[in-house]
Amino acid sequence: MMESNSKTKDVHAVFESIAPKYDMMNDIISFRRHKAWRRFTMRKMDVQPGQSSLDICCGTCDWTISLAKASVKGKTVGLDFSGNMLEVGQAKINKVGLHDQITLVQGNAMDLPFEDNSFDIITIGFGLRNIPDIIKALKEMKRVVKPGGKIVCLEMSKPTRQPFKSVYYFYFEKILPLMGKWFAKSYDQYSWLPESLKTFPDMQALAEIFRDVGLRNVKAYPLTGGSGALHIGTKGNEGV
């Protein structure tokens, strides 16, 4: 428990500090691939008008806004534990005029402040690897999604094929922290990001975790040579 609390505090400090430059750095370090990945994910999700959604670890709310637009007037909630990230996200929401449709909540992904069976869709983008107990977080998602609803995770992953694997890890472990130093003056924070991937499950292992927590019809899609992965699972009609 103490180790979990320590990780939570460390992660919180990282995202509080990088919030103002988070969007810029995402574009730079991913070569804007994260935008293409999200577009692919939205096509696979096939959000319907009126559906409700919860975007966990919503950060600066790019995905939250996409969900709200796709659902037309469906209830959309973004949750993050970083107040600074939510502040940036709220400014974006206000700018596009979706403040009446989107509600932002500061909260913990491992203890979601929502009733059972509350949302049609739950998403988490580039946040699951930062949660101390991913199984607990997935169980919470399963609890608050409606029967028949989808849980969708878009995340960094671990390439397996050479030579791309070696190039990827060299970039992620050596170059990425330097880019954080050059562009965001945040070497320590961006050197932490490669560490977050080391103990995170690979694509197949995460798919098994989805199944272990009781999700059905689990599908996993590798992205850009396996450097990212999309996972989609469905809650059965038996409830929680």
- Tell me if 76 sits within 8 A of 50, measured CB to CB: no
Average pLDDT taken over every residue of the chain = 84
User: What is the dihedral sign for C-alpha 61, 67, 71, 77?
Assistant: negative
Of the candidates 46, 215, 33, the residue with the CA atom closest to the CA atom of residue 140: 215
What are the backbone angles phi and psi of residue 81, rounded to the nearest 5°? -90, -5
Say what the pTM is.
0.85
CB atoms within 10 A of CB 16: 14
Over residues 21-34, the mean pLDDT reads 57
What mean pLDDT comes out for the span 72-79? 96
Question: For residue range 95-115, what is the model confidence (pLDDT) as tens digits?
Answer: 999 999 999 999 999 999 999
> Are residues 123 and 154 in contact, defined by beta-carbon separation less than 8 angstroms?
yes
* pLDDT above 80: residue 44: yes
